Structures are given as structure tokens and as C-alpha cells.
């Protein structure tokens, strides 16, 4: 079992965009970058880490459009960073430059320092000065906002995910104690949960945001065996929608990729010919066939 990798589909050059992100926080670096052919032109891919969280980025002629339905919380913990209060201001300034402020950086009932910003690349970030209790959380936590037709279903979705993943467990939860405008009592203002060695957060919002989950930000599960691929594919497509190349939408509309580590080995260490062969095989698949990828890679 390997941790989840958030997968970001950029409108701009993937590697250049990743270079911006890895400059923001310690323990951040680009792991590798590569290209492979697609029907609508060459595709650039990059794997990078931010504060220990691995991301996979892609850019091509096909534009998807990232929206705030999946954002990324950055926890500035004074016990981890003695200069957390100063650091949050510095990172905020860089993310806000050329971007869009959704909630100004300031004091809120839940934190003395919090802000929500959409950066110049369209990715949304929630920066928060934390005072952790119970189990420590990582610096970066992907956060799912349940809106539109799935508003009010965050709690149900957390249970769904925790039942699928063998290490699944719930963390903190803050349900609304009474109706707050369109948001009903009992729906989640915030909750977090742990699946596949990864902490995620979730919230409900019944306000008319005009966006919902899409493929521009997906959750990628790297699988080492066909058995893993089969298990997660069957579990997450239940009442959902199967796509191509390992992509699927679960019953809440969240986009996932059930991927093989063979593909990432090829992108990281393979020759141009190996990458082209494995890509051609991959493009013909719906659910990933690990043996077929290995055959293409080693041909």
C-alpha cells in the first residue's frame, strides 16, 4: 500500500508550475519530469513533493480547469516551525500574487491566522496556523468540499472511504450545531480522516458555488499488484462511473486514478522508446492491466 498522490492537471507547463510550488516550503523537490505522446499532442508530466506530500502534475493541449472543490490545507504548526506566524505570511504573499483571495488571511473563530486563496495556476490553498491536538497531522492535507448535488454528504462519504481502505479511520469532526443558511444542522464544517497512509479533510457547503468535483484534481492510488488495482477499481466504481486509463468517478463525483507503479517506473527511469510503448498500451485500457504494462515496458 502506497500513499495517495494528488494529481493536478495544469493549463500551463507542468514542470515550470511545479518549480513554483517546490520553492514555497522546506522538504520540497521535483522528483522527475518527462513527456509522452497523446492524441492531441505531447503531454508533460512531473512528480514533485511539497513539505513531504507527493504530487503528480500533468499538462497537455487538453484543458480541464482546476476549481476549489479540492483544495490543499497547509498547516503552519508552531511546534514544527518556530517561525510559523511569519512563514504563513510569506507563503500567503507568494500564493496570492496573481491569484484570487477567497477568504482573506486573518483571524477566525477556528484559528487566529487563516486564509483561503486560489493561486495564479488555479490551485486552491487553505493556510492555517494550527494548534494541534491528538494525533499530529502532516503539513499538507488535501481537502474535499462537497457542493451542489452532493452537499451534505461529506460525513457519508468519509464512512464510505474508511470502509474501503483497510487502514481507514476517522479523525476530528466539527458538525454544524444548527442550520446556517442553506447548510443544515449536522452537516460538516470540517472533518478529517486517514486512508491509504494519507490524511484528507472534508466539508459540506450548500451555497451556490457553481463548481463541483472534476478531473482536473484527482486522487491517484499507486498500486503494486493487479489485485490492488482490481480491488480499488471495483470498490470505487460502485454506483460511480468507470473511465479510461485507470480514471474513475466515485458515487460522489470525486475523481480517482487507480494506477500501476510500472507506469511511474517507466516515466522516471525508462528510455524514450519504453515510455512510448507503455503509453500506447496504457491508452487502450480502461481498468489498468499490470501485466500488459510490464510487457510493453520490457519488450
Over the chain, what is the mean pLDDT? 94
Tell me the CA distances in angstroms from 198 to 167, 206, 243, 285, 295, one per residue in order: 10, 26, 24, 27, 31
Architecture (CATH level 2) of domain 70-204: 2-Layer Sandwich (3.30)
For position 42, what pLDDT does the model report? 82
For position 133, what pLDDT does the model report? 65
pLDDT tops 80 at residue 197: yes
Q: Annotate 20-58 with DSSP letters as a single string.
A: HHHTTSSS-EEEEEEEEEETTEEEEEEEEEETTEEEEEE
pLDDT-above-90 percentage for the chain? 87
pLDDT single digits (tens) 95-130: 999 999 999 999 999 999 999 999 999 999 999 998
CA atoms of 55 and 70, how far apart (whole Å): 13
pLDDT single digits (tens) 151-195: 999 999 999 999 999 999 999 999 999 999 999 999 999 999 999
| Sequence-ordered strand ranges (E) for 109-151 | 111-118, 124-129, 140-146
User: Structure pTM?
Assistant: 0.95
Per mean pLDDT, which range of 15-24, 62-71, 203-212 is the poorest? 62-71
For position 132, what pLDDT does the model report? 67
The domain ranges of the chain are 5-65+214-298, 70-204
For position 116, what pLDDT does the model report? 98
Could you tell me the three cell numbers for 119? 493561486
> In terms of pLDDT, which residue wins out, 166 or 63?
166
Q: Do the domains 5-65+214-298 and 70-204 sit in the same CATH topology, yes or no?
A: no
Please state which of the four CATH numbers 3.40.50.300, 1.10.3720.10, 3.30.360.10, 3.10.180.10 is assigned to the domain occupying 5-65+214-298: 3.10.180.10
For position 134, what pLDDT does the model report? 63
Amino acid at each position: 500500500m502506497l500513499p495517495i498522490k494528488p494529481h493536478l492537471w495544469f493549463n500551463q507547463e507542468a514542470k515550470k508550475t511545479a518549480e513554483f510550488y517546490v520553492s514555497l516550503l522546506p522538504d520540497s523537490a521535483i522528483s522527475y519530469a518527462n513527456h509522452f505522446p497523446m492524441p492531441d499532442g505531447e503531454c508533460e508530466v512531473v512528480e514533485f513533493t511539497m513539505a513531504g506530500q507527493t504530487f503528480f502534475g500533468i499538462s497537455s493541449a487538453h484543458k480541464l480547469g482546476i476549481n476549489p472543490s479540492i483544495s490543499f490545507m497547509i498547516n503552519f504548526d508552531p511546534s514544527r516551525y518556530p517561525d510559523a506566524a511569519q512563514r504563513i505570511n510569506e507563503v500567503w504573499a507568494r500564493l496570492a500574487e496573481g491569484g484570487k483571495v477567497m477568504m482573506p488571511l486573518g483571524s477566525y473563530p477556528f484559528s487566529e491566522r487563516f486564509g483561503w486563496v486560489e493561486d495564479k495556476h488555479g490551485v486552491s490553498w487553505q493556510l492555517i496556523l494550527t494548534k494541534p491536538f491528538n494525533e499530529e497531522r502532516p503539513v499538507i492535507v488535501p481537502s474535499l468540499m462537497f457542493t451542489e448535488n452532493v452537499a451534505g454528504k461529506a460525513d457519508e462519504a468519509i464512512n464510505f472511504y474508511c470502509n474501503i481502505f483497510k487502514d481507514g479511520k476517522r479523525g476530528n469532526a466539527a458538525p454544524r450545531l444548527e442550520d446556517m443558511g442553506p447548510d443544515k444542522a449536522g452537516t460538516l464544517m470540517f472533518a478529517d480522516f486517514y486512508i491509504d497512509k494519507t490524511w484528507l479533510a472534508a466539508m459540506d457547503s450548500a451555497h451556490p458555488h457553481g463548481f463541483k468535483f472534476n478531473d482536473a484534481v484527482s486522487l491517484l492510488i499507486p498500486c503494486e499488484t493487479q489485485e490492488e488495482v482490481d480491488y480499488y477499481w471495483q470498490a470505487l466504481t460502485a454506483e460511480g462511473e468507470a473511465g479510461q486509463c485507470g480514471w474513475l468517478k466515485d458515487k460522489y463525483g470525486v475523481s480517482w486514478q487507480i494506477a500501476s507503479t510500472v507506469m511511474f517506473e517507466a516515466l522516471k527511469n525508462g528510455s524514450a522508446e519504453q515510455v512510448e510503448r507503455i503509453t500506447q498500451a496504457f491508452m487502450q485500457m480502461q481498468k489498468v492491466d499490470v501485466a500488459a504494462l510490464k510487457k510493453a515496458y520490457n519488450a
